[in-house]
Amino acid sequence: MTATARPTRRFETLAAAAERTGFSVRTLRRRISEGQLPAYRSGPRSIRVDPADVDRLMVRIPTVGA
């Protein structure tokens, strides 16, 4: 029986996600509490998010001719 390799998931801190996207940490925490952003706890104070989940918060605004 062969085990299939799962892709390694990467997580980032709220501060790193905020710096990367331009969101504030407070906004990310609000999105977590509203259920719009999944988050993962790895200790009593350590919260991490998947960068792909954070990126999905960004929604393109339609423009004329695009």
In contact, 35 and 2? CB cutoff 8 Å: no
pTM of the model: 0.79
Helix, strand or coil, per DSSP, at residue 52:
helix
For tokens 């609000």, name the residue.
Answer: 30
Instruction: Report pLDDT digits (tens) over 2-12.
Output: 667 777 889 99
pLDDT-based confidence at residue 66 (cuts at 50, 70, 90): low
Residue among 16, 15, 11, 18 at smallest CA distance from 41: 11
